[in-house]
Structure 1
Amino acid sequence: MDTLLEVVGDISGWLWGYPIILLLAGTGLYLTFLLGFFQFRYPVYIFKQTFGSVLKKPKGKGTVTPLQALTSALASTIGAANIVAAIMFGGPGAVFWMWVIAFIGMAIKFSESVLAIKYREKNEDGEYVGGPMYYMTKGLNMKWLGVIFAFALMIELIPSIMVQGNAVAAAVSETFKVDGLYTGIAAAILVSLVVFGGIQRIGKVTEIFVPFMALIYVGAALVVLLMNLGKLPEVLELIFTYAFQPMSAIGGFAGAAIGEIIRWGFARGLYSNEAGLGTAPIAHAAATTDHPVRQGFWAIVGIVVDTLIVCTATAFVVLSSGVWTREGAMEDPSALTAAAFTEYFGSFGGILVAVSLVFFVISTIIVVVFYGSKMAEFLFGSFAGKEIKVVYIAAIILGSVGAAKTIWQFLDLALAMILIPNIVAVLLLSKEVKQLKNEFFTSEKYYLKDIKKDDNAA
């Protein structure tokens, strides 16, 4: 068994090194060119159509509001650990490459969500459902590929939820000295109350939950920024200088060559915003919208929130505090966020990070249980979609006590089995994304009408 785990670890490590990074970066660049660099050309318009329209009644058909679809997708991506790992293994320069891949990844996430809306359908409960398995089946006429994607994601989520359950239990145990089993049971009950209410209840909960937890976390980081405005030029110099040159070892940081700096920035950025993974489109498919492209804009601002705001806030706190250079920092990179906030806020800082982590992880579990149930529904029907939720709820409790840690080793390999079919599908359907994008921006019903309204209002 140990030999098998070593082989799995080696294959996963190789796949999630340059092969998948090059696949995603290449796909993002191709789509960016194909779609005419639209994420750089229309940022003001995109923000007006998303956050600027929150108080307006959404146009078109759907099960949840566009904001609820976004917060549901964000709930499974927002977290602080990815950028800390990037800094510890790639140095401060990795932050720059994380920003670069965020802008490139916008084209992938936009394309996935546009296709999810185009090929969505209504299920037995009258809810709109969609995602990679639907655009593989209806857009490519490759149901077998959709089955592979759905089955791989459905199974992968069991160890994934165990890991998340363990993270909650560990954070609560370390900060509040509560037994992991009790935390696991409490988390399972909380998640059950939400997920058995379907996407509408999930949307209503995440609509409050996600902005609340993000504002508290980013707000604390902004306080740190204001306390250390003098260090901002120094932090920016670290990020930009070492984005293009190797960094030698310093304290707890082991040093990194330029290739590793780019690799870690790209890898953690993509891991953080899930561009290409095919999960976010499952949430966006339920949104009320009058055109696929309009919901695609919400997928773009998801990357802005997750990677450009939350991860950048974490990077500033960690780099300005200096905890990343301490001896032994490499041994437990995930603990550095708490150490950095403790540096500024004392024990309250540690509690803040622990509570934020619990919120981040619980919201992640809620949404990935929904994702898994949609996979089971696609494969076996509505009944199976409800039954699989029980399996996932049990996985929270098992993970909280550290059960079945062996299968956790298969996580990255399973993620690759989800990502590769999705990227293949997006590339094969990319001309349809371009056609929809051109239709939206040249039609009197959509972009041109919106621009006229803005001109009249001015």
Structure 2
Amino acid sequence: MEVLSQIISQLNSFLAPVLVVGLLGAGLFLTLRLRFIQIRKLGHGFAVTSGKYDDPNEPGDVPHFQALTTALSATVGVGNIAGVAIAIHVGGPGALFWMWVTAFLGMATKYSEVTLAQHFRVPVTSDGKVWAGSVAGGPMYYIERGLGWKPVAVFFAFMLMLTSFMTGNAVQANTIATQFRDTLGIETWITGLITATLVGLVIIGGIRRIGAVTGVLAPLMAGIYVTAALVILVINWDQLLPAFATIFREAFNPTAGVAGTGMGALLTTLTYGVQRGLFSNEAGQGSAPIAHSAAKTDEPVSEGVVALLEPFIDTIVICTMTGLVIVITGVWNDRVPSALPLRDVNISYVVGDDVQGYRRVATPEAIRYVDGRPLEGQPQLAYFSVGVPRLFVDRAQTQPFTGTLYPLRAQAQGDNGQLYTTLYGDAVRSSAPLTTLGFERGLADIGLSGLAQYIVLLSVFLFAISTSISWSYYGDRCAYYLFGTRGIVPYKVVYLIMHFLGAVVAVTTIWGIGDVALALVTLPNVISLVMLSGLLKKLTDSYFERQPWRENYEVHRRLVEEQRRKKLETQARKP
């Protein structure tokens, strides 16, 4: 596992700068080529999403709104809770600014990939099997049919299918399991088994059942989380302007975070902001176009304008809420008293200090501690990859640990012979626990700090479940592209197995693998978008010149009136 972690770290260090340049460069190019469509047509996107232009007789599987909620259920996930926290923990508050930049440019990117996916989507031959859907679309289709790059399309589909197992599935299961263990003491394998069962019950029904479920889950989960965050921001309204000032200052002149994380490097701040921004809103990754391809429409651009709402809702609204709570409450730069179970997947061993930063090392056989501190020259225990300065044997931290720590056995033995499986100390938070700490502090002023962990717990559960459900559809469209309908059921079986395994694997490893896969699918996709930008501009100009939504509005109005008339007639016939 340690060798794998080192390989992943090296791959990420190579791919991360390439990803940053490719993603931001493509987003800027498309923004200029389409004349800032994310600003000009934002209102039209909301209008189409409202359903007033829907025609149920057009080809596809789900209405515009359900296509959006399916995609949003995939994007509004633990990236909004855990991803923002990780970005700020490592890159500092300035990482949030680069998430905003990624989201703004990502709106044009998302519009582009969804419009092209709709334009090149294909009918599905499913022999009447409802779960298989009636259409399939995504980057693999526009890469193959638009550019003629079949090998690249196959590579993309295969890598995105693997990505669906990791970032869209295992990461979600891992975050739920970790949060339930920390909050309720439930073993990770139990949580993993339960969530895998819930996901399985939904995804077996295909896109129509997925659309129906996410159409309820997405608004519910966003409403609960945003409301709680807004309460904290209202309570601390006087800290909003200083928080924004900190974010903008740290974006271009970052300082080292707690225990030297980020080391005050602009590239670290920018990279983590872009990576977590991409993980959160998925613009340019090529996943969301698969869900949007199922929308009932014969006008590709009509779904493109719906899709550009995603980065706005996901990152500029929801991620900002998380980031502001973390910055305003100051938890991003704190160590806090913590219980440290030695079997915790977030426990690791490092060398270094708060000034120079920390570097992970191979797990040692034994570490000698005296008065709570390791002997000079030895590694030390770390939580979320940051060293814990001093270890204690009691929760009140009055008795420093003196003895030997045996990491491979997940035990510590005091000089008095006493065995310990949990030690205590001041440790940093990252991922969802950092967000939880922010909510606890933020709600403490109104006496609701105890409620905070359950708000975040419920949000994590809803966000992660809905993301896993939606991502299963992304992967099964890739499986269909590669293997036909015979590949869908085996894919779903493997997907559920990976969901369970994700619950019990170290979070740092899962995120690392996810980042590698993310880069490998994003780069060919954004290159394809740039290559097809001429066609994209023609489709865009044609749609807004013809204004076909006006005709759809009349069709929709007549259908609504007919349904209302039938309902009144039915009620009139009742005794």
CA gap 1:225/1:376 in 2 versus in 1, 3 angstroms: same
Kept after mapping to 2: 8 A contact 1:441/1:448: no
Structure 1 residues 286-337: Cα deviation after superposition (integer angstroms, max 9, x where no partner): 0012411110111111111110111001011111111112136964321210
CA distance in 2, matches of 1:154, 1:180: 25
> Is 1:206 aligned to 2:205, yes or no?
no
Kept after mapping to 2: 8 A contact 1:89/1:256: no
Aligned to 1:219: 227
CA gap 1:320/1:448 in 2 versus in 1, 3 angstroms: farther
Aligned to 1:19: 18
Kept after mapping to 1: 8 A contact 2:74/2:468: yes
CA distance in 1, matches of 2:301, 2:161: 28
CA gap 1:239/1:192 in 2 versus in 1, 3 angstroms: same
Aligned to 2:69: 71
CA distance in 2, matches of 1:9, 1:245: 25
Shift of 1:249: 5.3
CA distance in 1, matches of 2:275, 2:265: 15
CA distance in 2, matches of 1:158, 1:192: 14
CA gap 1:261/1:415 in 2 versus in 1, 3 angstroms: closer
> Is 1:367 aligned to 2:470, yes or no?
yes
Alignment partner for residue 412 of structure 1, among 496, 511, 515?
515
Mapping of 1:8-407 within 5 angstroms?
A: 8-16=8-16, 18-50=17-49, 53-54=50-51, 57-58=54-55, 60-78=58-76, 79-125=80-126, 127-160=134-167, 161-247=169-255, 256-327=264-335, 331-334=428-431, 335-343=433-441, 344=443, 345-402=448-505
Normalising by structure 2, report the TM-score. 0.73
Gaps of at least 5 residues in structure 2 are 127-132, 337-383, 387-427, 554-575
Structure 1 residues 169-221: Cα deviation after superposition (integer angstroms, max 9, x where no partner): 22122212222222222112111110010000000000100110010000101
Structure 1 residues 142-179: Cα deviation after superposition (integer angstroms, max 9, x where no partner): 22221111112223333443333222222122212222
Kept after mapping to 1: 8 A contact 2:91/2:262: no
Normalising by structure 1, report the TM-score. 0.90
CA distance in 2, matches of 1:379, 1:143: 11
Alignment partner for residue 429 of structure 1, among 520, 532, 535?
532
CA distance in 2, matches of 1:259, 1:192: 40
CA distance in 1, matches of 2:277, 2:513: 21
CA distance in 2, matches of 1:400, 1:264: 24
Question: Which structure: larger Rg?
Answer: 2
Q: Percent identity?
A: 39
CA gap 1:108/1:366 in 2 versus in 1, 3 angstroms: same
CA gap 1:23/1:408 in 2 versus in 1, 3 angstroms: closer
CA gap 1:115/1:323 in 2 versus in 1, 3 angstroms: same
Shift of 1:363: 1.1
Structure 2 counterpart SS, 1:184: helix
Shift of 1:447: 7.6
Kept after mapping to 1: 8 A contact 2:161/2:476: yes
Q: Please, which moves more after superposition, 61-70 or 91-100?
A: 91-100
Structure 1 residues 211-252: Cα deviation after superposition (integer angstroms, max 9, x where no partner): 100100001011111211121122122223333333365788
Structure 1 residues 107-156: Cα deviation after superposition (integer angstroms, max 9, x where no partner): 11111000110011111235121001111222122222211111122233
Amino acid at match of 1:275: A
Compare the two structures and name the one with the higher strand fraction.
2
Kept after mapping to 1: 8 A contact 2:90/2:257: no
Q: Please, which moves more after superposition, 387-396 or 26-35?
A: 387-396
Kept after mapping to 1: 8 A contact 2:326/2:438: yes
CA distance in 2, matches of 1:390, 1:196: 10
Amino acid at match of 2:105: I
Kept after mapping to 2: 8 A contact 1:91/1:255: no
Paired residues, number: 447
Kept after mapping to 2: 8 A contact 1:252/1:325: no
Gaps of at least 5 residues in structure 1 are 451-458
Q: Please, which moves more after superposition, 152-161 or 304-313?
A: 152-161
CA distance in 1, matches of 2:145, 2:322: 41
Aligned to 1:456: none
CA gap 1:58/1:233 in 2 versus in 1, 3 angstroms: farther
Shift of 1:444: 4.3
Kept after mapping to 1: 8 A contact 2:171/2:510: no
Compare the two structures and name the one with the higher helix fraction.
1
Aligned to 1:455: none
Structure 2 counterpart SS, 1:243: helix
Shift of 1:40: 2.0
Kept after mapping to 1: 8 A contact 2:91/2:261: no
CA gap 1:217/1:5 in 2 versus in 1, 3 angstroms: closer
CA gap 1:412/1:403 in 2 versus in 1, 3 angstroms: closer
Kept after mapping to 1: 8 A contact 2:42/2:308: no
Q: Please, which moves more after superposition, 433-442 or 324-333?
A: 324-333
Kept after mapping to 2: 8 A contact 1:165/1:184: yes
Shift of 1:260: 3.5
Kept after mapping to 2: 8 A contact 1:252/1:326: no
Kept after mapping to 2: 8 A contact 1:72/1:283: yes
CA gap 1:254/1:408 in 2 versus in 1, 3 angstroms: closer
CA gap 1:447/1:400 in 2 versus in 1, 3 angstroms: same
CA distance in 2, matches of 1:351, 1:449: 44
Kept after mapping to 1: 8 A contact 2:42/2:309: no
CA gap 1:96/1:5 in 2 versus in 1, 3 angstroms: closer
Q: Please, which moves more after superposition, 396-405 or 155-164?
A: 396-405
Amino acid at match of 1:322: G
Shift of 1:418: 1.4
Shift of 1:404: 12
CA distance in 2, matches of 1:229, 1:4: 45
Structure 2 counterpart SS, 1:287: coil
Structure 1 residues 257-311: Cα deviation after superposition (integer angstroms, max 9, x where no partner): 4443333332322221111110000000000124111101111111111101110
